[in-house]
Amino acid sequence: MDLEKRIEVYLALYVKFIGKARKFEKEGDLVQASEKYWDAITALLNVIGEKKNMPHFTHRDYWEIMNQIIDDTGDETLTELFALAEKLHANFHHDFIPEH
Structural domain that includes position 74: 3-91
For the entire predicted model, the pTM comes to 0.90
What pLDDT was estimated at residue 58?
Answer: 94
Average pLDDT, stretch 46-59?
Answer: 96
Q: Inform me whether the pLDDT recorded for 67 exceeds 80.
A: yes
Between CA 19 and CA 41 the distance in angstroms is 12
Tell whether the model's pLDDT for residue 91 goes beyond 80: no
Asked whether the beta carbons of 92 and 38 are under 8 A apart, the reply is yes
Average pLDDT for 42-64 = 96
pLDDT of 92: 78
- Answer yes or no: is 98 within a domain: no
Contacts of 70 (CB under 8 A, 6+ apart): 76, 78, 79
- Would 100 be classed as within a structural domain? no
In a domain, 96, yes or no: no
Cα–Cα dist 25/3, whole Å = 33
Residue 29 lies in a domain: yes
- On whether residue 53 sits in a domain, the answer given is yes
89: nearest Cα among 27, 21, 28:
21
In this prediction, residue 14 carries a pLDDT of: 98
DSSP of 42-61, one letter per residue? HHHHHHHHHHTT---SSHHH
Residue 93 has pLDDT above 90, yes or no: no
16-37, pLDDT tens digit by residue? 999 999 999 999 999 999 999 9
If one counts the domains in the chain, the total is 1
Contact 42, 68 (CB under 8 A): no
**Other CB atoms closer than 10 Å to residue 30's CB: what's the count?**
19
Q: What percent of the chain has a predicted confidence (pLDDT) above 70?
A: 98
Residue 99 lies in a domain: no
Q: Give a yes or no: residue 28 inside a domain.
A: yes
